Structure 1
Amino acid sequence: MVEEKKFDIVGNYILVTYFVFLLRTIGAWSLLPSKIDSLLFGLVGLIGGVLLVWDFVQVLRKKRTFDFDILLVLFLIALTISIAVNYHYSPVGNIKVLAWQAVFFLLMFSSIKFGRVAKNFLDRFQGLLIGFGFTMSLVSLAMFFTRFSYRTPLEQKTNPLRIGFVENRLFGSYTDPNYAAVMAVIVMIFSVYYLMKPTIKNGLKVFLIVNLILQFAYIALSGSRNGLVTLLFAASLGAFFFFFHKFQGTSIKKVLIGLVAGALLASASFLAITGVKEVFPKLPAISISQKYNDNNSELTDENEDGDEVSLGREDIQGSGDVSNLRFTIWKSAVEIFKKNPVFGMPPKSLHQYAIKEMPTTYLAQTKLAVHNAYLLLLVSTGVVGTVIMLIFMVKNIVLAFIYAFKVPKMTKSFLYYLLTCGVLAVSGLFHNELFLMATSSAIVFWVCLAKMNQDMVNLGKVKK
């Protein structure tokens, strides 16, 4: 069981690290000197390394058992071999990736799974997630209604920084609307979680309901198809389990009711998103702000004929490529994998290797991200690392769904963590932020997965 702690060192470290990672999701943060960002991340990384070493010392001194997940340890070994084999390509960057993966897997995941954090850690973590999401979406919607738009190039970045309503999409206060839309779905999940608690106060209920509206509106205006897909996934799966546990009867009857409820809520969510996209662009702007181009010189208002704006994405309309170049990127990534199938090419080495050894490939010419967490896993760790991680993931999926069908009520937190992990797993089909990435969404995934494992450990569903 979770122990009561006077000072939760690991829990507080996770909260601070998560907050520092959240700073990188703020568009304006990119305008600050890079030394500030490097200093903060270097500091939290160093502290994480010290805490992880201390954990190993405790194991060696037999103060606690070796309870690190053996599959995650084997994956780290496979990644280490990949880095060693390809040592001449970005060794420092890849060692940083390895270090952060060790912190995620061995410090954060294991500490939460086996109750080495305070009882109120998850409430604090979720409070930070909800509060940050509320603030960012509120500011983003304010930018939409004032038609604020800012765009400028960034050094060593393929894409420019876009803030506000740009290119017919609401980037808002975020750097990436796709990331933001997926996180908005997760903020909605935990907002519903607290709304379902019978002890919640009325004032907080109002805040959570407003927050749900803000997140929903942001998803619609962001133009993120990833956000829409994960919203529909969360709505259908959440409704399924809610009604599965709410009604009595045979298992077949409960499954059918759950499936119908899931389909209805997903359909209603899709129609509501469509409605927001139809109505919001027609609402009058509070004021029409000036637009700025890459050189920060003033532009004329793009909306001179009226307040209505378009939400048609400029990067998709008329392009003929429904994947928005993802199929081309994935094909290029597979070409690199074929050259390094056993241990792969580490994530920080991909572009450097491609430019030198495969200069005609798409990734070599564009330096774009792989945009698929599972394909990045395959390319970066080869068959060896991918098989290990897939065994870990499949094991957790099977055990989680077995457990989920036995949870008596939807108010149990386990199902909300299951939804969150599911949303990020689905999002991983289109974006990288799941494995081999030091990002805030990766922290959310491993924290929630660890909490699911803790619940299953406490009921004997997972062996220690």
Structure 2
Amino acid sequence: MMETKMRESLQGSMKNIVPNLELVFKVCYLVHLLMAFNAYFAGERIMNVTLVLTLFFGGLMGIMRLIRIKDYIIFPNVLWLIAFIGSYAVTALVNIRYGLFESAQYFVWLLFQFGLLYTFDWKRDRDEVRREFHIMAYVLIAILTIYNIIGFVMLMQNQGFWHEAADGQIHRIGMAEWGRLHGLHADPNYGAVTSAVGLLLALYLIMCSKKIWIKVVLAITILFQYLFVVFSVSRSGLIAAICGTAAFVGLYYLKKAKKHAIIISVIAVVVVAGALFGGSKVLIGSYNTYMEYRAEEPGDDITTKEPTISREGDMEATGGDISNRRFSIWKSAVEIFISSPITGVGFRNIIPYAKDQLPSTYILKVNNQYGDFDAMHNVIMDTLASQGIIGIVILGGFIVCTIVFLIRNFNTIREEHWVVDSVLFCCCLTIGVSSMFVSQILYVNNPNTYLFWALLGYLIYSMKRDGERINRKTRKTGEVSK
């Protein structure tokens, strides 16, 4: 009896501590990744501080979740993710001769992403979860806006330079001479996708906020997120931003329009998509015209009269390959899959394996004269090469079951939760679309992977809560009718 009371008391204390710990962990993890993919901070010693904090709070949170594992194991589709982790571990052991340390490192991040970001105690208070989500969104938007304002200033000054970190990594900061804005983002493609998500979250927070000054500040952040998407000339980022933003506006009018909702929703999607795409062309053209004008000014140190923002250099370097080498990289992924179809070779072992077993494949530097490509720029191809048939079947099962869950619970969404559920879905859509062109969601521990699993977790939690509410009402109605 005494043991039971002590156990119940301990679990009650955990329920009070866990929400605050989750918030601290999620903010630390997000800040760590945003700094890790900042060209100035990446590879610097300060990253050890954010890493230790993330691992410490993540470890504590993991222990607390294990104590109450029954509350988490029932979260929708979590068994598919457990199976994926198991498949990852088997692949790492099967290919241990190609390396184990890096695979073990990412194993920890995989546990964090699946077990701490995606998985929820669905009985948590909704207002508490909403507060956590809003804080995370504001942190993301604030840091992104600082990055992108600095990048925009460098763009207007046509400034850029190389930065070598303490660990020897070299990153481009600001403008690149080959015609795209990097700003402070270590990879402009990743930065563009993160900015697209930041844009969506800021748009959502404008709808939620009642204070005019907050709405104005958020509107300014939207401008700078969009400007980075445009001037980074990231095609994957722009496509993802258009898909996510247009879908969000379409879903908003689908619910809010009182008459002809579907027609108004479709029109809104077309208008927003056209405005975002057309706006990118106008902005780039205007900037290039401005830089040509500056080049003609006497005493100005800008001498080029060629368009500054352009992807023509990439097309020339790849011999007119519209995929920017992706088709050749995907071919290598298929070759690796064919050579090891059951378990794959492990994401961290792709290059060592290719050198040993497929010396003529494209992803090796000796065959492409550019560099070793250790990622396949597509989440499906990454999984195919990394975990073979087993991994791709598990991933497919998770995707199908998640889609079925969303469809099944679509009509249970309460009107007051429609906007938040819509933005969560559209943020995941944005990252999902871009994952067809860049490596994220799996195997790469970057801000977009974090955001995908965290926001998908919030979405599933919210829809499950509404679904359970409808089920309870149905059961009560059935009992009364009897």
TM-score for the superposition, normalised by structure 1: 0.86
User: Which residue of the partner structure matches residue 293 of structure 1?
Assistant: none
Aligned partner (choices 171, 194, 211) of residue 161 of structure 1? 171
CA distance in 1 between counterparts of 2:72 and 2:418 reads: 33
Aligned partner (choices 83, 86, 89) of residue 92 of structure 2? 83
Contact 1:246 1:409 in 2 (8 A): no
User: Which residue of the partner structure matches residue 313 of structure 2?
Assistant: 314
Q: Are 1:245 and 2:250 counterparts? A: no
In the comparison of the two structures, how many residue pairs are matched?
A: 440
Tell me which moved more, 402-411 or 253-262. Answer: 402-411
CA distance in 2 between counterparts of 1:315 and 1:269 reads: 23
User: Which residue of the partner structure matches residue 296 of structure 1?
Assistant: none
CA distance in 1 between counterparts of 2:357 and 2:305 reads: 53
Tell me the CA shift for residue 6 of structure 1. 8.8
User: Which residue of the partner structure matches residue 52 of structure 1?
Assistant: 62
Tell me which moved more, 110-119 or 436-445. Answer: 110-119
Contact 1:283 1:308 in 2 (8 A): no
Residue 21 of structure 1 aligns to a residue in which SS?
A: helix
User: Which residue of the partner structure matches residue 364 of structure 2?
Assistant: 364
Q: Aligned in 2, Cα 1:317/1:360: closer, same or farther, shift over 3 Å?
A: closer
Structure with greater helix share of residues: 2
Q: Are 1:70 and 2:79 counterparts? A: yes
User: Which residue of the partner structure matches residue 150 of structure 1?
Assistant: 161
TM-score for the superposition, normalised by structure 2: 0.83
Tell me the CA shift for residue 254 of structure 1. 3.2
User: Which residue of the partner structure matches residue 467 of structure 2?
Assistant: 460
CA distance in 2 between counterparts of 1:442 and 1:324 reads: 23
Aligned partner (choices 256, 260, 275) of residue 267 of structure 2? 260
Aligned residues with identical type, % of pairs:
21
Residue 161 of structure 2 aligns to a residue in which SS?
A: strand
Spell out, residue by residue over 1:99-151, the C-alpha distance to the aligned partner (whole angstroms, 9 max, x if none): 21111111222236553894421111001111111111101001101111113
Tell me the CA shift for residue 411 of structure 1. 5.9
Aligned partner (choices 210, 218, 223) of residue 208 of structure 1? 218
Q: What is the letter of the counterpart of residue 31 of structure 2?
A: F
CA distance in 2 between counterparts of 1:448 and 1:112 reads: 15
Q: Aligned in 2, Cα 1:155/1:331: closer, same or farther, shift over 3 Å?
A: farther
Q: What is the letter of the counterpart of residue 173 of structure 2?
A: I
Q: What is the letter of the counterpart of residue 379 of structure 1?
A: A
Aligned partner (choices 41, 44, 69) of residue 32 of structure 1? 44
CA distance in 2 between counterparts of 1:390 and 1:16 reads: 31
Matches within 5 A, 1:405-424: 407=413, 408=415, 412-424=419-431
Q: Aligned in 2, Cα 1:65/1:144: closer, same or farther, shift over 3 Å?
A: closer
CA distance in 2 between counterparts of 1:188 and 1:414 reads: 16
Residue 321 of structure 1 aligns to a residue in which SS?
A: coil
CA distance in 1 between counterparts of 2:341 and 2:280 reads: 42
User: Which residue of the partner structure matches residue 11 of structure 2?
Assistant: none
Q: Aligned in 2, Cα 1:435/1:76: closer, same or farther, shift over 3 Å?
A: same
Spell out, residue by residue over 1:135-171, the C-alpha distance to the aligned partner (whole angstroms, 9 max, x if none): 11101001101111113577998x9511111121010
CA distance in 2 between counterparts of 1:286 and 1:193 reads: 38
User: Which residue of the partner structure matches residue 394 of structure 1?
Assistant: 400
Aligned partner (choices 79, 97, 109) of residue 118 of structure 2? 109
Tell me the CA shift for residue 92 of structure 1. 1.2
Residue 88 of structure 1 aligns to a residue in which SS?
A: helix
Tell me the CA shift for residue 32 of structure 1. 2.6
Matches within 5 A, 1:372-383: 372-383=378-389
Residue 342 of structure 1 aligns to a residue in which SS?
A: coil
CA distance in 1 between counterparts of 2:18 and 2:82 reads: 30
Contact 1:71 1:392 in 2 (8 A): yes
Spell out, residue by residue over 1:280-301, the C-alpha distance to the aligned partner (whole angstroms, 9 max, x if none): 233369999xxxxxxxxxxxx9
User: Which residue of the partner structure matches residue 297 of structure 1?
Assistant: none
CA distance in 1 between counterparts of 2:143 and 2:264 reads: 35
CA distance in 1 between counterparts of 2:306 and 2:359 reads: 47
Contact 2:412 2:466 in 1 (8 A): no
CA distance in 2 between counterparts of 1:321 and 1:153 reads: 31
Q: Aligned in 2, Cα 1:287/1:203: closer, same or farther, shift over 3 Å?
A: farther
Larger radius of gyration: 2
Spell out, residue by residue over 1:331-390, the C-alpha distance to the aligned partner (whole angstroms, 9 max, x if none): 011101111111111111111111112111122333212111121112111111221122
Tell me the CA shift for residue 50 of structure 1. 4.4
CA distance in 2 between counterparts of 1:320 and 1:303 reads: 28
Tell me the CA shift for residue 67 of structure 1. 3.1
Tell me the CA shift for residue 416 of structure 1. 0.3
Q: What is the letter of the counterpart of residue 107 of structure 2?
A: L
Tell me the CA shift for residue 439 of structure 1. 1.5
Tell me the CA shift for residue 309 of structure 1. 3.2
User: Which residue of the partner structure matches residue 11 of structure 1?
Assistant: 23
User: Which residue of the partner structure matches residue 385 of structure 1?
Assistant: 391
Tell me the CA shift for residue 40 of structure 1. 3.9
Tell me which moved more, 277-286 or 221-230. Answer: 277-286
CA distance in 1 between counterparts of 2:452 and 2:144 reads: 16
Q: CA RMSD in A?
A: 3.0
CA distance in 2 between counterparts of 1:312 and 1:379 reads: 29
User: Which residue of the partner structure matches residue 434 of structure 2?
Assistant: 427
Contact 1:399 1:461 in 2 (8 A): no
User: Which residue of the partner structure matches residue 480 of structure 2?
Assistant: none
Q: What is the letter of the counterpart of residue 20 of structure 2?
A: D
Contact 1:404 1:415 in 2 (8 A): no
Tell me the CA shift for residue 265 of structure 1. 1.6
Residue 313 of structure 2 aligns to a residue in which SS?
A: coil
CA distance in 2 between counterparts of 1:137 and 1:51 reads: 32
Tell me the CA shift for residue 224 of structure 1. 0.5
CA distance in 1 between counterparts of 2:17 and 2:419 reads: 23
Residue 162 of structure 2 aligns to a residue in which SS?
A: strand
Spell out, residue by residue over 1:16-73, the C-alpha distance to the aligned partner (whole angstroms, 9 max, x if none): 111011101211113635xx435643552354234323422444xx7x5643511111
CA distance in 2 between counterparts of 1:312 and 1:78 reads: 39
Q: What is the letter of the counterpart of residue 115 of structure 1?
A: R
